[in-house]
Amino acid sequence: MENKEIFTPSFLRDIILFVVDSCKYCRLYREFVGKMNMNLPLDKQIEVIDCSDYYDYGIIRDPRIRKYAKYFDGNFPVFVFHGYRLDGANTRVELESFLKALFLPHFILEVENEGLFVKDCEWIKNKVFGRTLVCN
């Protein structure tokens, strides 16, 4: 994931996903963010803003589109998280792991994240292999 910092203090509060309808990756992001928002409190949820009219016709339907328009570069989806623009997940698993790692402390219900390795492991002596790594 590539991130580009946006230094203005007013940008530091925003958690927004900008999407367009014609983008297949935007549909994946929108689906996953919708599922993830169910596990987040209202003040921590990711807001999804549809930029289809802006992208196709230049019509601005949300004032935040104007605020962030110079950071779009014609590429969607654009995820803005507390002053950082995040681009470029290679796979859906990478996207899910990254976003779950960001929001894990805020989840209402405990969710297991396959992308995080948070298990207790120890080496146990074994006659056959010498020693074995066992994780709980």
Domains of the chain plus CATH, in order, are 2-134 (3.40.30)
Quick: pLDDT tens for 24-47.
Answer: 888 888 888 898 898 889 888 999
pTM of the model: 0.70
% of the chain residues with pLDDT over 70? 79
Quick: pLDDT tens for 57-77.
Answer: 989 999 988 888 887 877 888
Q: In the structure, what pLDDT confidence band is assigned to residue 49 with cuts at 50, 70 and 90?
A: very high
DSSP track, 51-106: -HHHHHH----SHHHHHHGGGTTT-S-EEEETTEEEE--SSHHHHHHHHHHHHGGG
